[in-house]
Amino acid sequence: MSEVLARLDGIERRFGSVVALDGADLILRAGEVHGLLGANGAGKTTLLNVIGGMLRPDAGTIEVGGSVVSFQTPREAWTCGIALAHQHFALVPAQSVLENLALGLARGWADPVRDVRAKALKLMDRIGLRVPLDSRVDHLGVGDKQRLEILKALLKNPRVLVLDEPTAVLAPNEISGLFALLRELAAEGRAVVLVAHKLDEVLMVADRLTVLRAGRTVLSTVPGDYEIPDLVRAMVGADPVDAIAIGVDVEPRSTKREPGESVAHLDRVSVTGGPGVDLEEVSLHVYRGQVVGVAGVEGNGQRSLALLLAGRVSATRGSVTLPEGLGFIPQDRSTEGLIAAFDLTDNVALALHRVAAYQDGPWLRWSELTRHAETIHERFEVQATSTSVLAGSLSGGNQQRVVVGRELSIATDLLIAENPTRGLDVAAAAFVHDEIRRLVATGVGVVLVSTDLDEVLALSDRVFAMTRGRLLEVDEGQRSREGVGALMLGGAFAHA
């Protein structure tokens, strides 16, 4: 077997009373892409942060290149050839993409960005992930931030590349591009670790799999030894329920739900100056009891469309009609969905405090709000000791559950969902899909904006593609990955 580049043995780590890792093992070999699997809160991010020098373990040993190491800082890990692309992006919002790439790379009195620009351009050409180098990071969408986070790790030219959920917001062609690169890197004798929740994706690229459950390594194997349902059982200790979440191909929806009355209406709406391209003369009716699915490559205006429908930006021209009971699952839970320094109850109250049922004259009904937060905590199986823990201390998937649970509960007329299952594990994604179907059955209109074509095709009654600020409806006959994919890139098969 090939050379072991890094070996983690019996890693333990707790945060206060929460045990995040409880004897996790991981062996990374040269020439291998290693898939790290596990339910939300299993400890994947914590383990990767230990490898990357971000966190010190309470117990266990780390060996790199045959010798035992104890990283005090991320720089020490990097010196050993380890680079990490974080799930919770480690970016400086107020600085440019280029400056973010240069941070830590250049040192001393040197001009930090000069050499980096050329290197970054070369790298972007090679792997086909593009980010505008001179934009400020806080003006980027979540997809660009993700691409930047990956590029940043790659620029360090690591021997061990660690990618924590890099694919959740990438377009399908970008994912295949990234995977091709990972294979090349492995062929050069490097090791790659990759976290992803969609198993078909992981199986496409991984040479070896490790499954974490409750902070412990429960399975270490090669693909082929286990079927997908076995892996899911190892991850969540239960039987899989939803074909989309497991990532096996699903048929597009064939039976159309009957539309109810119109619940939201855009009438030749234009938006200029928003994120991505401007919206031009977009018209759309959202009907009760139906799901409108919008697919599109980031930057084509779907962000503006979602913000417009959520009432977060106003139209430059045209008219917008929106209902009262509106829920919005934004693309980035950490910047738009939650306040990290608030506890779960406060985060729930943030969205519900204007709802009459939670008001009592000038006062808020805190007991009701707390009860509501507790309901979300239970129903969505949020892994937190209580609703008074800070949102920032939850794992990524558990943060997503709080946002989704809260917004589903206030969407009595309309739900706008951007990548609602981003970061959710197999079981949670299945549950959220079921919840969306249930919500639709009660007569709520849903707009689903997602980079995940399978999700769009499986949940939607009508499918649209967004290209260069225009909304094109996909003909029934073209509702396939290929058909929609071609349309997103500006092909035919549709009418406006």
Ligand X SMILES: Nc1ncnc2c1ncn2[C@@H]1O[C@H](COP(=O)(O)OP(=O)(O)OP(=O)(O)O)[C@@H](O)[C@H]1O
Q: Is residue 41 at the binding interface for Mg ion, with CB under 5 A as the rule?
A: no
Residues 6+ apart with CB under 8 A from 107: none
Residues 6+ apart with CB under 8 A from 54: 74, 84
Total residues in contact with other proteins, by rule CB under 8 A: 30
What is d(CA 6, CA 53) in angstroms, rounded to the nearest whole number?
13
Candidates 12-20, 112-120, 139-147, 253-261; binding stretch for ligand X (CB under 6 A): 12-20
Burial class (CB in 10 A: 0-12, 13-18, 19+), 251: exposed
Q: Is residue 73 at the binding interface for other proteins, with CB under 8 A as the rule?
A: yes
- At its nearest, how many Å lie between ligand X and the CB of residue 404? 13
Task: Give CA separation, 458 vs 250, 292, 450, in Å.
Answer: 7, 11, 12
Q: Which of 95, 157, 270, 359 binds other proteins (CB under 8 A)?
A: 95
396/420 with CB nearer ligand X: 396
Q: Which does 421 bind (CB under 5 to 8 A by kind): Mg ion, ligand X, other proteins, none?
A: none
Residue 299: phi and psi, rounded to 5, are: 95, -5
3-class DSSP assignment, residue 294: strand
Residue 406: phi and psi, rounded to 5, are: -65, -45
Which helix (H) or strand (E) segment holds residue 22: the answer is strand 18-29
Q: Is residue 91 at the binding interface for other proteins, with CB under 8 A as the rule?
A: yes
Q: Which of 57, 396, 420, 483 binds Mg ion (CB under 5 A)?
A: 396
Q: Is residue 43 at the binding interface for ligand X, with CB under 6 A as the rule?
A: yes
- At its nearest, how many Å lie between ligand X and the CB of residue 245? 13
Q: Is residue 108 at the binding interface for other proteins, with CB under 8 A as the rule?
A: yes
Closest CA to 54 of 27, 103, 88: 88
Q: Which of 158, 274, 289, 396 binds ligand X (CB under 6 A)?
A: 396
Contact yes or no for 201/175 (Cβ under 8 A): yes
Q: Is residue 90 at the binding interface for other proteins, with CB under 8 A as the rule?
A: yes
Q: Is residue 401 at the binding interface for ligand X, with CB under 6 A as the rule?
A: no
Q: Is residue 350 at the binding interface for other proteins, with CB under 8 A as the rule?
A: no
Q: Which does 141 bind (CB under 5 to 8 A by kind): other proteins, Mg ion, ligand X, none?
A: none
- At its nearest, how many Å lie between ligand X and the CB of residue 396? 4
What is d(CA 168, CA 396) in angstroms, rounded to the nearest whole number?
12
Provide the 8-state DSSP code for 469: T
- Amino acid in position 2: S
Q: Would you tell me which residues interact with other proteins (CB under 8 A)?
A: 52, 54-56, 73-75, 78, 84, 86, 89-95, 99-100, 102-104, 106-113
Q: Would you tell me which residues interact with ligand X (CB under 6 A)?
A: 15, 18, 20, 38, 40-46, 87, 383, 393-398, 423, 425
